[in-house]
Amino acid sequence: MRLDKFICKSTELSRSEARRLICSGAITVNAEVVLAEAFQVHENNDVMLDGQTLIARNSRYLMLHKPTGTVCSNINEVYPSIFNLVDIDYADNLHVVGRLDVDTTGLVLMTDDGRWSFDIIRPDRRCEKVYRVGLRDPISNHAAMGFGTGIQLQGEDQLTLPAKLQVLSQRQVLLTITEGKFHQVKRMFAAIGNRVESLHREKIGDVSLDLELGQWRYLTVDEVASFKNKTCFGG
């Protein structure tokens, strides 16, 4: 964990206040003054502020049902931040695990545990994400078969990893992918000459969305642990 983030997680200080303290030389790690805000702190490190040992609060793990017209950012932009929907202390210390576009709905994971989130999004783990996709045009059997071998995206040198496509109706499918390329789902269907009209994420790993639009809840212990179990990942 970054040193500035560790300070925020163990005090009432904001990120900017933590950075000022670090620059002032008030923070030591294992009895050595550290002036770099990005310095990595580990579980066995002794972090002190003016001679007082800092102990980080327990990490938090949430799911949220994202509405359209919101952004997966910690601050309001052109559209409001999804963090406005989460009424807990230190919400600004959380971050999103896998962003969704402003016009996309569905499951969003949030945490202040950077190692946990990195293990979910790192490419070699191939965490499965399931999307319900509404299409402009009916999908043909030939086009549907292509997802199993990979799709050539515009501007990419290699095919996407094999994906699973379940046809629910002529214009609605469930797509399971194990990558997180920029606008990947929309680009995959654009590559076969179709257009995504609606997009909703239903599942990440073994965790399925079970909330009404705009609601949030803490993940259960088993849900948090499931992302450390390789059986919930494709490949």
The residues assigned a catalytic role are 101
Sequence-distant (≥ 6) Cβ neighbours of residue 141 within 8 angstroms: none
Angstrom distance (rounded) from CA 78 to CA 170: 34
Tell me the two tokens of residue 189: 């269907």
Q: What three-state secondary structure class fits 65?
A: strand
What are the strands of the beta sheet with 52-53, ordered from one edge?
A: 32-33, 27-29, 47-49, 52-53
- 106 CB-contact burial (10 Å; exposed 0-12 / middle 13-18 / buried 19+): buried
